[in-house]
Amino acid sequence: MPDLSTCILGQTEEPLHLHTAPEHRAAVLRMASQATQSLCIHTRDLDPAVYDSAELNEAIVRLIRRSSRAQIRILVQDSSRAVREGHGLLRLGQQLSSKVQFRIPGPDHRDFNEAFLVADVAGYVRRPVADLYNGVAVFRAPFEARKLLQYFDEVWDRADSDPQLRRLFL
C-alpha cells in the first residue's frame, strides 16, 4: 500500500498509484480528512469498499463543522445497491441533507464509466475505469482537479434527484 502518511492536500504533487479497494479507501479518507471546503464524488454505485466507512462519515462531519460553507456533492449513477444495503453516506445525507447532496446523472451522462473524488479543487482520487481499482491519487493537482470539477459541475447542473433517495429521505 502506498504511504499516505506524508500526503498533504494542496502540497503533495507526487501521484500515488492505487491498485486495490483498500488503497482507494485509504486515499479517499486521507484526502477527505484534509478537505476544508468541498468534496465532489462521482461514482457508479457508491462503492461500499471505498465510500462506506464510519471514518469517512466522521471526516465529512468534521469538514461540515469546520466550515459553514462546506459542500459535499455526490453524483451516483445507480443507488439501488446502496439503498438496499443501508450505505453510511446515505444515512449521513439524511441527517445533513442541506450539506450532503445526492443527484443522479441525466441520460447524456449515465454511461460515464469513471469514478473520482475531488477535494477542495486541489487534489483528486481517480479510477479511469470505475469497475477496476487501478487508479491514482494526487494531493496537489489543481489543473487536473479543476478539469474533473468542470465535468462534475456540467453533469451536476443537468442531473436529477434520485427517486430511490427521495423515498429514502422522506
Taking only the tens place, the pLDDT of each residue in 11-53 is: 999 999 999 999 999 999 999 999 999 999 999 999 999 999 9
Whether the predicted model's global pTM rises above the 0.85 cut: yes
The string of DSSP codes covering 80-111 is HHHHHHT-HHHHHHHHTTTTEEEEB--GGGTT
Domains of the chain with bracketed CATH: 16-169 (3.30.870.10)
Task: Write out pLDDT tens, residues 48-92.
Answer: 999 999 999 999 999 999 998 999 999 999 988 888 888 999 989
